Chain A
């Protein structure tokens, strides 16, 4: 079994998710059953096989280029428009630097 309670806690911390005890129990079962299914990939010998990260941009003629010039973007007002907490032209966040 790849996933136990401690592993769920560790991954949740990496993913910045809060997980309740009940969710944890459910996730242990579901994640293990999905990963067990995924493990059938190990039946294939893939030594020397190149990984595919994307499928169509395979040669230089397909690359996208554009001139390196500054362009108009969103106004400050637009950028802050959906911010859950803003003020003085900034996004507000809890204090990050500790006082010590």
Chain B
């Protein structure tokens, strides 16, 4: 039996019909990981007994004649900044190399109740800070399409695990594109939900006003299925909202004729590379053929988005990462026997270069004398960017763009220049600043055979329209699994 290119629905059917047990499926993926992971390096660590135990529970339900839950036996990769009780959670950092999670993230509780199986913890840029997974303190992850290319980041391990068929689906986190950009680079689907749609309890915080957890999979239907399971109000995350959670997968399949899709005029001058432009134009044509109206819209503050994003993200990061002081968890270097040198030497040894750079810049923009000029200014420009999107969404139902202005780049190509790495986030960061949902889905290959992703952005809590349009697109384009 071919265990690759499976979907959640097919897996549940296989188990229900007795054609395969959850344990057999789990073992098949563990074999695949043993064979592929040394090349792709998508997983940082995995506990085969833990996953087999979860799968065994599904098989016992089946034998007892109980109805199987929605995601029964679904083999998943979980980004290693989400807590699974009893397993290590490293965040790709030396600092948390030996940290064992004392509790489950809410998304993990919900997925486990829905029958998902956690194959292992996926690599990431340290504390989710990066766009290539090269900032992992342990090792970079390779693009499953070509090993000398990056998988994107920061959820590069999650995207590469799905792209290399080492997992059927994955969870990532997205602070400025960290689900969507690696999904695009690895040729899979990845969604960042509306801010507050999914509880962040048990996710290691980076930028608290920007962070969201979301699913990655081969197709839109699985993304929709997983999103329904993980969404909704959680008393343990005060920022999660009590907005009704629809059956997103059940809502797929409606015609998208007459839908108005906005093309931001400003994005044309954002350095979109030729192979990406060609694929995106073909994608736009496809949507027109499906009866969508493509309309040009203006997002006048686009040029300021990256600067705004990095000021806010770094300020929030410097504040969130203050907790790593070597006292309650994580690495400790004793220093010279006093508290201050223990703090400094612990943090020096525990954090990598990019994390330190962001803590330094974040501390600077929040420091006395500079707060108004940088942090407050960025928060005001965030208001202007939000207004741009509100005005655009008066005219259209969705916005469309490439996910990334370029195809995947080579390992090492951008590590020397942090600013160049930041500039490649232009199309994804605004969704985080504005809090709206966004999806990246495959849109064909470059002449070199590298994946190109197309991005759809929707209004707050309008995930269903985003998913339904994405679903129609992948079916019409032949990109569905």
Contact = CB atoms under 8 A, between A and B. Distances in A.
Nearest to B386: A52
Given A27-B357, A78-B102, A41 B304 contact: yes
The 8 closest A-B pairs by CB, nearest first: A51-B379, A55-B435, A82-B329, A84-B332, A18-B348, A46-B380, A64-B238, A18-B344
Secondary structure call for the A interface: loop
12 contacts: A15-B360, A30-B357, A31-B361, A34-B422, A37-B419, A44-B384, A46-B380, A46-B381, A49-B384, A91-B328, A94-B342, A96-B339
Nearest to B337: A94
A23 to B, nearest CB: 8
Contacts of B329: 82-84
A52 B343 CA distance: 32
Contact of A41 (B195, B308, B344): B308
Given A42-B377, A84-B329, 14 more contacts: A15-B347, A16-B322, A17-B351, A33-B419, A34-B418, A41-B311, A42-B373, A46-B377, A50-B383, A52-B386, A54-B209, A55-B434, A57-B239, A94-B337
B248 interface: no
B295 interface: no
Interface string B210-241: 00000000000000000000000001001111
A19 B347 CA distance: 10
B448 interface: no
Contacts of B209: 53-55
B391 interface: no
Interface in A40-82: 40-42, 44, 46, 49-57, 62, 64, 66, 74, 78-79, 81-82
Contact of A81 (B100, B301, B325, B347): B100
Interface residues of B, number: 72
A57 B342 CA distance: 39
Contacts of B361: 31, 34-35
Nearest to B102: A78
Contact of B239 (A23, A38, A64): A64
B131 interface: no
Contacts of B347: 15-18
Secondary structure call for the B interface: helix
B384 to A, nearest CB: 7
A96 B328 CA distance: 16
Contacts of A51: 376, 379-380, 382-383
Chain A interface size, as a band, is: 35 or more
B327 A17 contact: no
A18 B340 CA distance: 10
Interface string B186-217: 00000000111000000000000100000000
B374 A11 contact: no
A93 interface: yes
A56 B196 contact: yes
A16 B102 CA distance: 27
Contacts of A34: 310, 361, 418-419, 422
Nearest to B373: A42
B49 interface: no
Given A82-B102, A82-B328, A40 B356 contact: no
Contacts of B435: 54-56
A50 to B, nearest CB: 6
Contacts of B342: 93-94
A36 to B, nearest CB: 9
Given A31-B361, A53-B209, A94-B339, A18 B304 contact: no
A85 interface: yes
Contacts of B307: 37-41
Contacts of B418: 30, 34
